[in-house]
Amino acid sequence: MVTAALTGRHGGATGLNAGERARLARGVYLNAKKPVFCNPFHLALGLRLELRAASWTLPAPIQRAPHCVYYEWHPDSAESKLGVYHGIAREVLASSRRNHDELSVCLFVAELAMPEALARTTLFCEAARLQPHVPSWWLNARFKGLHRSGVVPRLVS
């Protein structure tokens, strides 16, 4: 599931295709009036979502408060922010009444945090500078996943 999420390869009955994820992500940033790569805490607030830190995260079937993002607090703020991206993705997909599964949520997180169209044309070091709000391990996995899937990011200028 992680590989599919980081490469962006998923579809089927419950999955959004890459174009739908990209359009939905652009809509999220437009509705929040925030730029791509902004702090996800600011993105959530721009979407009028309440943020709730927890020492644990709620599994998918548990009832959640509407318009609320639950994320797990972590001493590394980038880890916490990745959790906020996940909560935003979950809330946006749920509120849009789209049929989705956990893989769809993870794929949407990838599109929100590092859009595939930008990853294709950006050097890794430039992407790390542009997107300081996710852990380096995640960004590295996103680029490696795209490289393996045939969506090869530019490696030299």
With a CB cutoff of 8 Å and minimum separation 6, the contacts of 76 are: 135
Torsion of CA 140, 113, 42, 68, to 10 degrees: -110
pTM, two decimals, is 0.82
Q: Where are the domains of the chain?
A: 2-148
Dig out the tokens for 27 from the structure: 């809509």
What is the pLDDT tens value at each position of the chain, 157 positions in all?
Answer: 444 444 445 444 457 888 999 999 999 999 999 999 999 999 999 999 999 887 665 555 555 677 889 888 889 999 999 999 999 999 999 888 777 888 889 999 999 999 998 888 888 889 999 999 999 999 988 888 776 666 654 454 3
